Amino acid sequence: MSVSAQSVKELREKCGAGMMDCKRALEETGGDIEAAIKLLRKKGMAAADKKSSRAANEGLVDAYIHQGGRIGVLLEVNCETDFVARNDEFKAFVHDVAMHIAAASPRWVSRDDVPEDVLAAETDIYMAQAADTGKPVQVLEKIAAGKLGKWMEQTVLLEQAFVKEPEKTIDELRRELVAKIGENVEIRRFARFQLGEDLA
């Protein structure tokens, strides 16, 4: 199927992929722009996963101050080259993530960062809550695992829904950037400060 230059242009504007990638995606989806966007996102995610093993030693440290100086975030995000670290899209991503941290207050970057004792304590709580239902043990474990997954979505940065685009997680946003810039991007660490926190 041949696709119009106008369709390719429209798709490029919507998703930022290369011209030939857009043309192929439109051909594969019979000219359906929304289906082509989904296809490109899937391919981009696959490409991002391949790049995740590459070393990311460059990057940026960004500071975000919110609510008239009441909340502050320091964030380090790494990439592979200083060229990408100076890229406007990379800078915007870093700043958006810092702003998200100020708003959503995650506790850890990834699941791997959650301490074992915290995981065990949360699992015990959810198992105890599930036990009140009187269901069989294997069902209780599924209920507890589901609740633990929901808790992760609230407390782990990469699994949180991005405040500016709630249909995407922070990790999906990161992987989209990796697919666009062609380099591994890692959110390394952050610190969030809130005025008066822990003073009680």
pLDDT of residue 54: 62
Task: Show the domain range for 84.
Answer: 58-110+156-194
pLDDT of residue 26: 85
Same domain? For 47 and 86 the reply is no
Same domain? For 19 and 45 the reply is yes
64: its two tokens: 């975000």
70: its two tokens: 């009441």
Is 98 domain-assigned?
yes
Question: Which residues, in sequence order, are CB contacts of 94 under 8 Å at separation 6+?
Answer: 59, 60, 62, 75, 77
CATH code, domain with 189? 3.30.479.20
Query: Rounded to an integer, what distance in angstroms lies between the CA atom of residue 33 and that of residue 36?
Result: 5
Query: Rounded to an integer, what distance in angstroms lies between the CA atom of residue 104 and that of residue 98?
Result: 10
Query: Rounded to an integer, what distance in angstroms lies between the CA atom of residue 82 and that of residue 71?
Result: 29
Residue 7 burial (10 A CB sphere; 0-12, 13-18, 19+) = middle
The pLDDT tens digits along the chain (200 residues) read: 677 888 888 877 776 666 677 788 888 888 888 888 787 777 665 455 555 556 677 999 999 998 788 999 999 999 999 999 999 999 999 999 999 999 999 999 999 999 999 999 998 898 888 887 778 878 888 888 899 999 999 999 999 999 999 999 999 999 889 888 888 899 999 999 998 877 65
Same domain? For 93 and 181 the reply is yes
Q: How many domains does the chain have?
A: 3
Is 74 domain-assigned?
yes
Is 33 domain-assigned?
yes
In whole angstroms, what separates CA 113 from the centre of its chain?
15
| Residue of 25, 38, 18 whose CA lies nearest to 3 | 25
149: its two tokens: 């997954």
Residue 67 burial (10 A CB sphere; 0-12, 13-18, 19+) = exposed
Same domain? For 96 and 183 the reply is yes
Same domain? For 106 and 162 the reply is yes
